[in-house]
Structure 1
Amino acid sequence: MGVILKSITRENFEAVIALELATSQRDYVASNLYSIAESSFHPTYQPRAIHCSGEAVGFLMYESFHHNRQLPAYNIFRFMVDRRHQGRGFGHEAMKCVLDEIRAHGPFEKIAICYVPTNQVARDFYASLGFQEAGLSEETGEVIAEIRMNE
């Protein structure tokens, strides 16, 4: 399939901000433009363009936390695949890529992601990648799902 993650650059910026969600999904995630702007103020945020065959097909962003000499924890908090590219496996491959990228940094405490409790598609999708539900966010009411380091 050839899905890869790339940093946001001058070369792919316009293509990434032009990506669109389906109308029914727009309330689930901030715009890519907002996310890229936000990342410029937070050095721990890692925005990534999802590319396949040289074309931007999606976007994701994650952050890392380091607490008092403990292993780092990661939070994937933005993730989208353009409406024209959904249903083709790009999202699944992109999530495998970001999990591999995070694991390449070394041991970690956990990788977390959140989703709306009524979003069964998201629940099934993240479970298929090894995420296990860990509770609800007090701030947002969203489900928190995690992958924990076993070692």
Structure 2
Amino acid sequence: MEVSLRHVTKENYEAVCELDVEKTQEDYVACNMWSLVESMFNEGHESRAIYANDEPIGFLMWVRETTEKISIWRFMVDQKHQKKGIGRKALNLSLAEIRLVSDLKKIEICYNPKNPVAKDFYSDFGFIEVGMDEEDEDMLAVINID
């Protein structure tokens, strides 16, 4: 199965909006439709559809918060395609694309500390927990770029 990231376009946005996580994951993931609206009307937001072969099966969005920092705000794989290694491939692809940004010093991600798989999953990619976010709701983890 070939996994790729593609821009969200008028041809695929509806399919991206229809993707869903499992019921037990809904509290941890924002709505794709809301995220797409957010990315269309705010500077520095990049959204990508995650494809398996030619089918959109997930969604990613990251934000260039400063010239030196990018934050991954959204990351989901549809419930029918989880536990197949697609998320790992997609996150590797997104990190490779993000690392191409000039002057980048830090990539960060936040996740609910009650999410049972997030810490181990993100640490496998080099994210190191640095504490709770400003609202004291989500765990903040970073990759420092040398």
Q: TM-score range by the shorter chain?
A: over 0.9
Q: Which residue of 1 aligns with 2:75?
A: 79
2-structure distance, mates of 1:122, 1:85: 17
Q: Which residue of 1 aligns with 2:17?
A: 17
2-structure distance, mates of 1:57, 1:140: 31
Equivalent residue of 2:99, what SS? helix
1-structure distance, mates of 2:57, 2:40: 22
Deviation at 1:4, TM superposition (A): 0.9
Query: What are the residue-to-residue correspondences of 1:2-151 with 2, within 5 Å?
Result: 2-66=2-66, 71-150=67-146
Please list every run of at least 4 consecutive aligned residues from structure 1 whose deviation after the TM superposition is greater than 2 angstroms: none
1-structure distance, mates of 2:61, 2:45: 7
- Assess if the C-alpha contact under 8 Å between 1:135 and 1:144 holds in 2: yes
Amino acid at match of 1:32: N
The more displaced of 76-85 and 39-48 is 39-48
Amino acid at match of 1:5: L
Amino acid at match of 2:44: T
Gaps of 5+ in 1: none
Q: TM-score, normalised by structure 1?
A: 0.92
1:43-97 per-position Cα deviation (integer Å, ceiling 9, x unaligned): 211011001100001001000022xxxx520000111000000000111111001
Percent sequence identity is: 43
- Assess if the C-alpha contact under 8 Å between 2:28 and 2:115 holds in 1: no
Gaps of 5+ in 2: none
2-structure distance, mates of 1:119, 1:28: 7
Deviation at 1:108, TM superposition (A): 1.2
Equivalent residue of 2:84, what SS? coil
Deviation at 1:120, TM superposition (A): 3.0
2-structure distance, mates of 1:138, 1:50: 29
- Assess if the C-alpha contact under 8 Å between 1:49 and 1:58 holds in 2: yes
Give the length in aligned residue pairs.
146
Equivalent residue of 1:145, what SS? strand
Deviation at 1:116, TM superposition (A): 1.1
The more displaced of 136-145 and 32-41 is 136-145
Q: TM-score, normalised by structure 2?
A: 0.95
